A and B are shown apart, each in its own frame.
Chain A
Amino acid sequence: MPNEEKLSSIRKGLLEFLILRIIAADKVYVADMLTRLAETPFATQEGTLYPLLSKLRREELLDYEWRESDAGPPRKYYKLTAKGRAQLAELNRHWKQINATVEELGQSA
Chain B
Amino acid sequence: MNKVVTVNLNGNAFALEEPAYEALRAYLDGANARLNGNPDRAEIMADLEQAIADKCRRHLGPQKNVVGSAEMSAILEDMGPVEAEPAADAQTAPPRDNRAQPEATPRRLYLIREGAMIGGVCTGLAAYFNIDVAFVRIGFVAATLLTGGFWILAYIIMMFVVPKAETDEERAAAHGLPFNAQELVDRAKQHYAELREQGSRWQDDWRRRRRARRRQRAAEREREFWRSASELEYQDYGTRVAAGFLVPVFTALSAFLFVVMVLMVLSLVMTGGILDWTLPGDVPVWAAVLVVVLAYHAVLIPLRAASRASYEATAGPRHGWIAAADGLLWVGFAVLLFWIAWETSPEVRDLLEDMQRGWRQYALAWTRW
Judge whether A55 and B227 touch: CB under 8 Å: no
Q: Is A24 an interface residue (CB 8 A)?
A: no
Which one of B199-207, B218-226, B268-276, B321-329 is at the A interface?
Answer: B218-226
Complex alpha-carbon distance, A105 and B222, angstroms = 13
Could you count the A-B residue pairs with CB atoms below 8 Å apart for me: how many are there?
Answer: 99
Report chain A residues within 8 Å CB of B182: 93
Min distance, Cβ B92 to any Cβ of chain A, angstroms? 8
Chain B binding surface, main DSSP class? helix
B161 close to A (CB within 8 Å): no
Pick the residue among A15, A45, A51, A105 that contacts B220 (CB under 8 A): A105
Q: Which 3 A-B pairs have the closest CB atoms?
A: A45-B80, A16-B88, A47-B80
What distance in Å separates the Cβ of A26 from its nearest Cβ neighbour in chain B? Answer: 20
- What is the size, in residues, of chain A's interface with B at 8 Å between Cβ atoms? 34
Binds A, one of B44-52, B147-155, B280-288: B44-52
Say whether A52 contacts B79, CB under 8 Å.
Answer: no
Question: What's the nearest-Cβ distance from chain B to residue A47, in Å?
Answer: 4
Does A92 sit within 8 A of B, measured CB to CB?
no
How far, in Å, is B228 (CB) from chain A's closest CB?
A: 9
A52 near B178 with CB under 8 A, answer: no
Please state if A50 and B39 are interface contacts (CB–CB under 8 Å).
Answer: no
A47: contacting residue among B48, B91, B92, CB under 8 A: B48
B50 touches A73 (CB 8 A): yes
A72 to B51, CA, bound (A): 11
Chain B: how many interface residues by the 8 Å CB criterion? 44
Q: Is A65 an interface residue (CB 8 A)?
A: no
Task: Tell me the nearest residue of chain B to A20, going by C-beta.
Answer: B88
A54–B38 Cα distance when bound, in Å, is 9
Q: How far is the CB of A73 from chain B (nearest CB, A)?
A: 7
Chain A residue contacts of B43, Cβ below 8 A = 54
Nearest residue (CB) in A for B91 is: A13
- Asked whether any CB of chain B lies closer than 8 Å to the CB of A106, the reply is yes
* In contact, A48 and B86 (Cβ under 8 angstroms): yes
Contact of B88 among A3, A56, A101, A105 (CB under 8 A): A56
Which residues on B sit within 8 Å (CB–CB) of A12? Answer: 87, 90-91
